Structure 1
């Protein structure tokens, strides 16, 4: 009798589970996708960004802000992922290729310049912005208008960066190079009068200048002397490149791209190089 009762209980439980499964779709609304894109969104998407670049990719507690974040959020939406389905992942420069190759992220928006060397390891969509190496100087500095004027002056860049060395090699052999762990430390040195200029990509400098503590104290020279095509890093076997390029073009066409640039560099006087921007996203071609 105990065996018969156990069997009956099991049958009843299975019946209840079957009925619940049949009716669950109606109660929960089925498997409806979120986001406005036509692509299948799935549960979430992992996007790599910088956490320490104000105005581009910056983490403040649970908040993520910056131009890269804005572009990534727009693109994700067009792919079918709402903002709360995005999992932000820190993507340091040295780790970006590995993170894509090992599936730690699905894509990367992190001032990631498209180069032939990198394309041997990963794929790119975009570009979504074309930056150029420039200089950040004190607001009242009228002497430094380009890299040639740095002869005999102190120039700051981050440890391991090639930006400052490029100026020494190509423009001002007598420039004195100063290294700091991060660009925020370089700006602190600039406002304290310890260095005459800071160098890296212009939009990174603009993001730093836009910080409340720096506004009115520093400015971007506005004379870029290189061309850096920021792309969306993807695994080589991806099937999203064309869709991402379409989304970037839509962002440009509907004005959201310009709004994102302006809101993240407000108060700095910075404007993107009009000869290069807005870019034409054609990296998949």
Structure 2
């Protein structure tokens, strides 16, 4: 009987120890984020949001840094978190992040789940080809061509809806795979937002180039938890300052260096208006 009681006590003690460990780890996790701002970005889009040797680079990252600084957060008080497209709304709703800068197009369906500041950039779906290839000068030259885009993206969906009778579409898990397919001649072009293509082309060191004929408009906004109108207003003010003081233009140029790319002047720089502009989903 004693042996049985001892065994029970040991099991109870083990349970208490396990729970204590969970609470300690949880508390430590919360305390490590106190006084900091958590920002969601892409980790796999050169020129936009890219994790490189433990650092974070790209236009979205630069915009996020500027806004954070205007809100009173220095670089060492930013916690960067990866924000894959399909997880962005959930990350905001679950309080995993405070803001998201991740080529996050503003549209009506997303506004039902989250709020937006911005827009801070207007991209356009474009085409990227091998350097010197003049067989594709725009979407009207896609007859019989092989294109690559990312599985589940609306760039791929746009091709299916508008050009399915003309092109062969290959879908890959990421744009790096599409760029590799273009390098090797498996496809004739890659399609997505022009600023993402510009980053890929810049990373390719002159071997790839943009066609420069965008055929959609994508209004990039800052994702913020639904109902946090105070933060939306403050972020919009920071974005207006960034555009006004020239930082916006400098960061665009820095992140697309060496590429024949200029943001469409008809739409850029945009006027941050609390995410009231609607674009297609990306």
**TM-score, normalisation: structure 2:** 0.83
Asked whether the equivalents of residues 119 and 275 of structure 2 are also in contact (C-alpha less than 8 Å), the reply is no
**Cα separation, 2, equivalents of 1:126 and 1:225:** 22
**Cα separation, 2, equivalents of 1:217 and 1:65:** 21
Asked whether the equivalents of residues 221 and 275 of structure 2 are also in contact (C-alpha less than 8 Å), the reply is no
Is 1:108 aligned with 2:90? no
* Equivalent in the alignment of 2:12: none
* Equivalent in the alignment of 1:22: none
**TM-score, normalisation: structure 1:** 0.82
Q: Which of 211, 214, 224 does residue 224 from structure 1 map onto?
A: 214
* Equivalent in the alignment of 2:227: 237
* Equivalent in the alignment of 1:264: 255
* Equivalent in the alignment of 1:91: 83
* Equivalent in the alignment of 2:9: none
Is 1:254 aligned with 2:245? yes
Asked whether the equivalents of residues 106 and 275 of structure 2 are also in contact (C-alpha less than 8 Å), the reply is no
The secondary structure found in structure 1 opposite 2:248 is helix
> Which structure: larger Rg?
1
* Equivalent in the alignment of 2:151: 159
**Cα separation, 1, equivalents of 2:173 and 2:94:** 28
* Equivalent in the alignment of 1:194: 186
* Equivalent in the alignment of 1:58: 50
What's the CA shift for 1:172? 5.5
Q: Which of 60, 68, 78 does residue 70 from structure 2 map onto?
A: 78
* Equivalent in the alignment of 2:273: 282
What's the CA shift for 1:197? 0.4
The secondary structure found in structure 2 opposite 1:136 is strand
CA RMSD of aligned residues (A): 1.2
What's the CA shift for 1:165? 3.6
- After superposition, the C-alpha distances for 1:169-209 in whole angstroms (9 at most, x for unaligned) are 21451200112221011111111111100000000000111
Asked whether the equivalents of residues 47 and 105 of structure 1 are also in contact (C-alpha less than 8 Å), the reply is yes
Asked whether the equivalents of residues 151 and 172 of structure 1 are also in contact (C-alpha less than 8 Å), the reply is no
What's the CA shift for 1:148? 1.8
Moved beyond 4 Å, runs of 4+: none
- After superposition, the C-alpha distances for 1:115-144 in whole angstroms (9 at most, x for unaligned) are 000000000000010001000011111121
**Cα separation, 1, equivalents of 2:87 and 2:155:** 19
**Cα separation, 2, equivalents of 1:154 and 1:193:** 10
Unaligned runs of 5+ in 1: 1-41
RCO higher in structure (CA 8 A, sep ≥6): 2
Asked whether the equivalents of residues 47 and 256 of structure 2 are also in contact (C-alpha less than 8 Å), the reply is yes
- After superposition, the C-alpha distances for 1:10-31 in whole angstroms (9 at most, x for unaligned) are xxxxxxxxxxxxxxxxxxxxxx
